[in-house]
A and B are shown apart, each in its own frame.
Chain A
Amino acid sequence: MKWLPAFVVATALAAPAFAHHSAAGIDRSKSVTLAGTVKQFGWQNPHSWMEVDVPNEAGVVTTWKVEMTSPAFLIRAGWKATTLKPGDKVSVKVFPLKGGEPGGLFQSVTLADGSTLTERAAAPRPAP
Chain B
Amino acid sequence: MKRVTATALALTLAVAGVSAQDLGVLAPANLAKPRPKPALDITGTWFIDLGFPGSWRFGPPYPKLTPDAQKHFDAAQKARAEGKVYRDDIGQCWPAGVPLIMTRVWSISMVQLPTVVYMISGFMNSLRVVNMDGRPHTDPDLVVRTFNGDSIGRFEGDALVVDTTGFIDHHHWIDNGIPASDALHIVERIRLVDGGKKMQIEYTMTDPKSWEGEWKMTKQWNRVDSRDMEIAEVECLPDLNSHIPSTQSKENVR
Contact = CB atoms under 8 A, between A and B. Distances in A.
**B interface residue count range (under 10 / 10 to 19 / 20 to 34 / 35 or more):** 35 or more
A115 interface: no
Contacts of A76: 228
- Of residues B90, B124, B244, which shows the largest number of chain A Cβ atoms within 10 Å of its Cβ? B244
A121 B22 CA distance: 50
A-B residue pairs, 6 tightest by C-beta: A21-B91, A25-B249, A103-B245, A24-B85, A25-B246, A22-B85
B105 A12 contact: yes
Interface in B235-250: 235-236, 240-241, 243-250
B74 interface: no
22 contacts: A8-B222, A8-B229, A11-B50, A15-B50, A18-B106, A21-B91, A21-B241, A22-B246, A24-B84, A24-B249, A42-B243, A45-B234, A45-B235, A47-B244, A65-B243, A67-B243, A67-B244, A67-B245, A98-B83, A98-B249, A99-B249, A105-B246
A40 to B, nearest CB: 8
Given A4-B224, A12-B105, A101-B249, A24 B51 contact: no
Interface in B47-84: 47, 50-51, 55-56, 79, 83-84
A75 interface: yes
B251 interface: yes
Contact of B232 (A20, A72, A97): A72
B88 A22 contact: yes
B123 interface: yes
B104 interface: yes
Given A45-B235, A72-B232, A101-B249, A12 B50 contact: yes
Interface in A33-54: 42, 44-47, 49, 51
B242 to A, nearest CB: 8
A20 B243 contact: no
Interface string B190-203: 00000000000000
A101 B243 CA distance: 13
Nearest to A50: B243
A19 B241 CA distance: 12
B251 A24 contact: yes
B90 A20 contact: yes
A61 interface: no
B88 A24 contact: yes
A86 to B, nearest CB: 14
B245 A75 contact: no
Contact of B105 (A18, A65, A67, A98): A18
Contacts of A25: 85, 245-252
Interface string A86-118: 000000000001110101110000000000000
- Of residues A14, A17, A18, A105, which shows the largest number of chain B Cβ atoms within 10 Å of its Cβ? A17
A60 B250 CA distance: 25
B225 interface: yes
A126 interface: no
Contacts of A81: none
A23 B224 contact: no
Contacts of B232: 45, 72
B21 interface: no
Nearest to A66: B245
B199 to A, nearest CB: 14
B50 A21 contact: no
A12 B229 CA distance: 12
A5 interface: yes
